[in-house]
Amino acid sequence: MELLERKISAQLEPLPVPVAVTLPGGRRLGTANAAVTLGFRDWSGLAVMAAGQIGKMAEEIVEGRIEVHGRMRDLMAAAASLLPGSPVGSDTGWWTNMVRHAKSLAAHSSPQKDAQQIQFHYDVSDDFYALWLDPRRVYSCAYYRDTGMSLAQAQEAKLDHICRKLLLRSGERFLDIGAGWGGLLMWAAEHYGVDATGITLSKNQHAHVNRLIEEKGLKGRVRMELRDYRELTDERGFDKIASVGMFEHVGRVNMPVYFSQIGRLLRPGGLVMNHGITSGGVYTNQLGAGMGDFIDKYIFPGGELLHVSHVLRELSIAGLEMLDTENLRPHYARTLWAWSDALEQRLDEAQQVLEGTGSARDAGKVLRAYRLYLSGCAMCFEQGWISLHQVLAARPDGRPETGTLKGAQSTYPFNREYMYPR
């Protein structure tokens, strides 16, 4: 125990924020004016901290074996410095690849299992998400076109940025895969006049969006279906397709199916925007130091990340042509901190809302998990351990005369001028 105490004391000294530790017996290590205090109920948690297993520490916090006092921003600043090295691994051995493939197969063994995993996260409580999301409940990376923007303004800028990239036109048939609480679906219908179809596996989101459609008088031009993307058929083909914050749930093993299905649903010459989280490491599908395991257990079961190079490879194999790729990584860091700060300001309300869906004990666990998830992911995007890419692609129609430039074979003008407001 004495050796462990010395190691913990040595870890506390170089941290960027003052951190104190309360040992199981009550003794305190660290400064008296600490920004963050960690209270340990047993010695096993201290061993985890000494080993730099940040994900395992997060699990101990969720389960109530470590108490945290202090701001999430300060806690994450300390956590980044406790890691023994980069959590973005690069193991390319055959055994690692085989295990990775086997885990992906098990996590995505059926559409029913995928639906359960989506509902585990998105159906926690609509009222809970409403406490810290923007009024449109856009649950994906915002676009801070102007650094002075609020979260709500940046989310609207993101919705419009996607619509501009897709060159949406009135009367076009638009599909939103994983439409969430309907932010993009409604924005595209109301501002660009499209005929819009959204799909989701979340029962809560499905009900919410259908209420919005009724309230806004958009029935007949906008529809939201409770449906897996693999089940969707459409003989006419959609003019434009968006998938925002969804393909992280698809799984490495299903990526060929995912992009092939998009290719089938998209009419020749049409455009698709794939917006999603990508791995910071070329060969990894989750973060190390136990962080990926924590996310899989408490937040996104079955979630897998691919490096953008892998995404582009799978997209190309499916017959889609990459037209424009944009990295929004620091935008997502700022978005997540906005969500985290909003939740921190309403912790008592959040606890009450979650208690309404289950026991007080379970509510406390969910709340602690989300506090760590939002702030931890913000830190990871800042550090560059994970990223966010918008990939615009086309299904070439094989006709060189299509488009404003000869050989375009799609509606894409092959310049970026049209994307930005003048």
The CATH number linked to 407 is: 3.40.50.150
Domain count, the chain: 2
For the ranges 92-106, 217-231, 400-414, the lowest mean pLDDT is seen at 92-106
The sheet carrying 173-177 orders its strands as: 222-226, 195-200, 173-177, 238-244, 266-279, 386-394, 321-327
Instruction: List, for residues 292-308, the tens digit of each pLDDT value.
Output: 788 888 887 777 889 99
**Chain centroid, CA 211 distance in Å:** 25
Residues 70 and 126 in one domain: no
Residues 26 and 143 in one domain: no
Question: pLDDT band for position 94 (50/70/90)?
Answer: very low
Residues 248 and 304 in one domain: yes
Q: β-pairing, 266-279 with 386-394?
A: antiparallel
Residues 211 and 281 in one domain: yes
Residues 160 and 245 in one domain: yes
Q: Which residues are catalytic?
A: 377
Last residue of a domain, one of 82, 102, 129: 82
Residues 172 and 218 in one domain: yes
Residues 196 and 73 in one domain: no
Instruction: List, for residues 214-241, the tens digit of each pLDDT value.
Output: 999 999 999 999 999 999 998 899 999 9
Q: Name the pTM for this structure.
A: 0.90
Which domain covers residue 389, as residue numbers?
A: 110-419
For the ranges 106-115, 172-181, 330-339, 353-362, the lowest mean pLDDT is seen at 106-115
The percentage of residues in the chain with a pLDDT greater than 90, rounded to a whole number, is 64
Whole-number Å distance between alpha carbons of 39 and 27: 10
Residue 94 included in any domain: no
Whole-number Å distance between alpha carbons of 190 and 218: 9
- For tokens 């969006």, name the residue: 209
Last residue of a domain, one of 65, 82, 99: 82
Residues 75 and 124 in one domain: no
For the ranges 32-41, 80-89, 111-120, 234-243, the lowest mean pLDDT is seen at 111-120
pLDDT exceeds cutoff 80 at 121: no
